[in-house]
Amino acid sequence: MKNTLRQVFHSPKFVGGFVIFAAILLLMIIYPLINPGDPLEMIGVNTFAKPGTYVSLYDATKAKYEPMRLADAEDKRLDAYLSAEDRVAMVEWFDLAGIDISNLDIEDTDALMDMWNDNYDPAFKVKGMTKAKVNYFRRLDNSIQQLQSADVIVLADTNEETGELEETGQVSKTDYVNVNSVVNVKFLPLGTDNFGRDVFKELVSAIGTSMLIGLLAGSVATLIGLTLGLLAGYVGGVVDDIIMFVTNVFTVIPSFVLLILITYSISQDQRGAAVVGGVIGLTSWTWTTRSVRSQVISLRNRDHVNLSKLSGHSLVRIVLTDILPYIASYVVMAFILQVSSGILAEAQLSMLGLGPKMTEVPTLGLMMNWAMLYSAHTNGSWWAYFPVILTIALISFSLNLMNTGLDQVFNPTLRD
Amino acid sequence: MAVSEKAMEQKDFTNKPLCLSGRGVTKVFGMGDKKTVAVDHVDFDFHEGEFVSIVGESGSGKTTLSKMLLGLSNATEGEILFQGKPRDISNGKKKKEYWKGIQAIFQDPFSSFNTFHKIDSVLLDCINMRGGKNLSKEEKTAMMTEACSFVNLKFAELTNKYPFELSGGQMQRLMIARIFLMKPKILLADEPTSMVDACSRATILDMLLNLRDEIGMTVIFITHDIGLAYYISDTVYIMEHGKFVEYGKADEVILEPKAAYTKRLISDVPKIHEEWDLSTVDLLTEK
């Protein structure tokens, strides 16, 4: 036993898979301790906030300012605030005014601003330009001038006695606030989703639920498959015929179709994570049965089984102590594959809207379903679905890697 | 007593009570065109205390017959009588009762033991089956020690070890220790020496003969080695293509063979002081 374990942990494939899987498990266990609370809590009012650190604007104005003169601050500001639309409009005006723009880089804010300051003249009239267009360029110039001016933002509050606005403070462009001294800062590593929920927190909770579904599905499938396979293989005869008939019938019907039909017939509010896991397990035991049966058939005529019979052991005891230990490694591998395919099956079902009910716990499949329903993929909110895809891929990759590693240890013909 | 000395004193067993006998025992595998008759209507009478050898080449149906005798597979046709009465192994309880009377040693010691069970549990199973379940731990240990010393093994060294930690010869001796504890009426030894070296072979055969005398059981010895059969057995059955072509006292069958097949088997044995007669081998290849 100890030897086998050592061998298993010497397989680079198994160790690779194990490390990835353990990392995901650790994240799943530790993150809720650091960041407790309901993963489905809607913290954002708007949808799809980008990933990043969010600083409370209110608290930032109350925090202590520290004036700083940073040389590149103004450039950065211009760079960021001058929208792409404005830049195109500026170039359009240069073109209309007959200025040479062949050397102008639209991304080069400095050159663009210099040229605008040098050349723009509100009085300049282009032939055939509508009044609206002329006014548009005037407004553009206005906003550009505002960007450049060294104005302050005035903070005002209503005086309770007179009801008038009174200046309470000013925020100048050179004022800086230490993020640590702002009371409310929220770090959202993966932004928020369509309901304004923290995607990362949701993802960690979803990993847990999906693993649970996979584990349940794998356990149910392995248990049914193992029991039927052992019975069919060891007892043989009519029992074998009946079990193999049922197994063949289930093998011929595509299990996913069966899965859809069964989940469809269960109403939404009865479809918890456990129910879905159980149903997935109930539809995916056939291959385990078939392969366990064939292994048992090759084992049941071995001498050690005969010796056990001659020693007067009962059928149950022979199956449990003389057959099961010999196929245990195989069963473990089948179980790992079943868990992996259980997680995938849940994701597929939830994408179709037949997964667990949406109000209780998030699952990986449900997160994909939400992202799809609220068109995260078309509005560029990659954080709502891409990490989920990556997690599903990582989980099944690590499980399959472990399975291959185990296979190499237990199957001598695959050893290099 | 050495193996060769044993062979000298062959007794007449025909007057002794019957232990195991068969009438028209047949085993057929498959159906229709793919039908294989492994054992074809064989009759036999094994007496109490007799050392019987069943000799035949590979594929002659020896092992199939032994499986049927052990009750591990059912005969297609025919009847097997245990101690003169038709054998009844229709349910688990009756089978268990039958197996108290008949035990086996298998060909390959390396696959005969469950690699997950310790040696102690193998021997304890035998004590439990003989109704020693309620004995004290000391008594059980004493019995196991006695059984091990009978086959020149030290129980103190074996306890808490796994069978695969032993050599092939030691494992086969452990099997004999099992039989010593079980004390069955019949022992079916299916080529117990074919997988061990020549030295261990003599030891194992000697132990089998001693055990036979100790318990007074019948030994059915299945082998492909006619020379070996001659030296150790009282009675020899020669099996060819699922049939007994010749049987009788070892001396009669081997020194004055009547069936062509027996003659061929005897001529196939390599001899030390003569040139090896390979004429029968040529005959076979020409066919």
Residues 6+ apart with CB under 8 A from A49: A188, A191, A192, A196
> Is A320 at the interface with chain B, CB within 8 A?
no
> Is B31 at the interface with chain A, CB within 8 A?
no
pLDDT attached to residue B214: 84
B139 pLDDT above the threshold of 70: yes
From the candidates A307, A323, A324, A329, which should be mutated to test the interface with B, based on the most B CB atoms within 10 A? A307
| Cα maximum dimension of chain A | 112
Closest alpha carbon within chain B to A315: B92
First to last CA, chain A: 22
For residue B36, list its beta bridge partners: B29
DSSP character string of B203-255: HHHHHHHHHHHHHT-EEEEEES-HHHHHHH-SEEEEEETTEEEEEEEHHHHHH
A412 pLDDT above the threshold of 50: yes
pLDDT attached to residue B131: 81
Nearest-neighbour CA in chain B from A325: distance (Å): 7
pLDDT attached to residue B225: 84
Which CATH code for domain A2-46+193-414? Answer: 1.10.3720.10
The rounded distance, in Å, linking the Cα atoms of B13 and A280 is 67
Percent of chain A with pLDDT over 70: 98
pLDDT attached to residue A414: 63
Sheet with B186-190, side-by-side order of all strands:
B102-105, B186-190, B218-223, B51-55, B235-240, B243-249
Residues of A in contact with B104 (CB under 8 A): 306-307, 310
Query: In 10 A of CB A64, how many CB atoms?
Result: 9
- Beta carbons of A307 and B92 less than 8 Å apart: no
In this structure, which amino acid lies at residue B19?
C
Phi and psi torsions of B273, nearest 5°: -95, 0
Domain boundaries, chain B: 3-286
- Beta carbons of A312 and B100 less than 8 Å apart: yes
CA A104 from chain centre, in angstroms, equals 43
Residues 6+ apart with CB under 8 A from B250: B7, B10, B53, B229, B230, B233, B234, B235, B236
With cut-offs at 50, 70 and 90, classify the pLDDT of residue A289. Answer: very high
When the pLDDT of each residue in chain B is averaged and rounded to a whole number, the result is 83
The rounded distance, in Å, linking the Cα atoms of B219 and B187 is 5
pLDDT attached to residue B49: 86
pLDDT attached to residue B86: 86
Query: In 10 A of CB B18, how many CB atoms?
Result: 16
Please choose, from the candidates A200, A215, A210, A222, the residue with its C-alpha nearest in 3D space to the C-alpha of residue A349.
Answer: A210
Q: What secondary structure letter does DSSP report for A323?
A: I
Query: Taking the alpha carbons of B99, B103, B109, B115 in that order, is the dihedral positive or negative?
Result: positive
First to last CA, chain B: 45
A345 pLDDT above the threshold of 60: yes
pTM: 0.80
The domain made up of B3-286 has a fold known as: Rossmann fold (3.40.50)
The partner residue sitting opposite B125, judged by closest CB among A304, A311, A314, is A311
A63 pLDDT above the threshold of 90: no
- With beta carbons less than 8 A apart as the criterion, state whether B166 and B160 touch: no
The rounded distance, in Å, linking the Cα atoms of B194 and B75 is 26
Q: What mean pLDDT comes out for the span A243-259? A: 91
pLDDT attached to residue B1: 43
Domain boundaries, chain A: 2-46+193-414, 52-69+153-188, 73-148
pLDDT attached to residue A415: 59
Q: What mean pLDDT comes out for the span A8-37? A: 92
Phi and psi torsions of B30, nearest 5°: 75, 180
Phi and psi torsions of A381, nearest 5°: -85, 70
From the candidates B72, B74, B103, B116, which should be mutated to test the interface with A, based on the most A CB atoms within 10 A? B116
To 10 degrees, what angle do helices B92-101 and B119-129 make?
A: 100
Q: Which residue has the tokens 């036999």?
A: B44
Q: What mean pLDDT comes out for the span A262-288? A: 90
A233 pLDDT above the threshold of 50: yes
ipTM of the complex: 0.85
When the pLDDT of each residue in chain A is averaged and rounded to a whole number, the result is 88
Q: What secondary structure letter does DSSP report for A322?
A: I
- With beta carbons less than 8 A apart as the criterion, state whether A375 and A217 touch: no
Within 13 Å, how many C-alpha atoms sit on residue A97's CB side? 21
Phi and psi torsions of B61, nearest 5°: 100, 10
> Is A315 at the interface with chain B, CB within 8 A?
yes
Helix (H) or strand (E) holding A156: strand A153-158
Residues of B in contact with A304 (CB under 8 A): 111-115
> Is A303 at the interface with chain B, CB within 8 A?
yes
B64 pLDDT above the threshold of 80: yes
